[in-house]
Structure 1
Amino acid sequence: MSFNPASDLLFALLPDSGIAPDGPDTVAPLAAALHAQYPNAVTLTLHPPLRDAEGRCRWWAGDAPSADGLAAALPHLSQRLRGEAAKLGLPWQRVALAGVGDGALLALEAVQAEAALAGRVLAFAGGYFARPEHAPQDVCVHLLHGLADERFPYRHVVDAAQTLVDLGADVTADLLPHLDHGLHPALIDKAMAQLRTFIPARLWREAVIAAQEDERAAS
């Protein structure tokens, strides 16, 4: 965890399942990019709590996600995330979840399951466990995926993105050619661009309301 006493953002990074706990830090390139763009931000890597027979990290028992596995994983993530935000004195709108693979799935399902948990989600090479039935309120969702990802086919990401748009969510979907499953530098670059440039619909609405109020005051 990188701590800055003047922190204004918290990025919680959720690695993919199947990583050896004593192996390389697979989300280090993402953390470095976030620090370069947001020097006052805190990045916190939350490692999967379970271990399989080979000692690899897992967010849930077994290779594939399940309803029971998610039900067990989500409260642990929520409690940890709210606790870290409270330590920093940050409101939930200043908290972001950035997940890879199974970590992306967990991040997306977390903001579906619980309101006012995080203001943004960066989902790399992963998607929803089930098609969203409602838009997460005041959450920007950024889906970042490789078209050659065979572990999580991109068509599921396209379907989820269209569903979220239809539900009125703030969502972007970037599908990059020739990239297989993983946290590729090109996906990280695209995520940094989305963080810099994407304006949530809520802010547009607030700006329109403020302009209307100014017009009425002037008339």
Structure 2
Amino acid sequence: MVKNGSNISEKVLNVFLWFIVLSMLISLALTTKTALTATTTKAAGAAWFLDIEIVAGLLIVMLPKFLALKLKVYLPPLLYSLFLMFIYGAIYLGTIYHFYSIPYWDKGLHLISGALLAGFALSAFGGLISNEGIKHIPPFFISMYAIAFAVFCGVLWEFYEFTCDSLGMNLQRYMKDDHLLMGRAVLMDTMGDLCADFIGALIFAVIAYVRLRKDSRWIEKFFFHRNL
């Protein structure tokens, strides 16, 4: 079984994790100060709500690491690094600092999530197939499975956004400035997200195919297992 000698070392990953945690803690302190010194109830309420979002982001990024230490489970560094990049970009930069207003920011996150989900597909694969059995499965099939898994999860996410939009939200960007979009413009956000999911998963799958052709044990970098 592959141990911690993965492409992204535990040391570098920990530095990245602490960078994220410290930046969130600084933002939490500054936002709390804003809430306490706000001159209007509306401004104070907005600041306190932002505090809640920051705390939620902190819990989300720390939870996998905490569970891995508590349960003594090996946390695949590459998989966790993609997870951190996605959460930091989506919750911290995207939601808290409104980076979603930057063109294609959302599509970039879908690229990352596509790769993340493809990597998680390999983790699930390891839980379903024995190590000996994996050696006899063609790398092309494993790569195609990773793409299919990631895109399927992307479709489920679009189902979720569609359901929320049915309740009055605008997650699929079918409205602009409170006006309904028409024709092809309505499809651009959803199809763009799915295309980005596919491209992210495809890039990961190509890398996985090349690495698995050289060494079938490379897939073990994504397996969760108990640390002895």
Q: TM-score w.r.t. structure 1 length?
A: 0.26
Higher RCO (CA < 8 A, seq sep 6+): 2
Q: TM-score w.r.t. structure 2 length?
A: 0.25
Q: Which has the larger radius of gyration?
A: 2
More strand per residue = 1
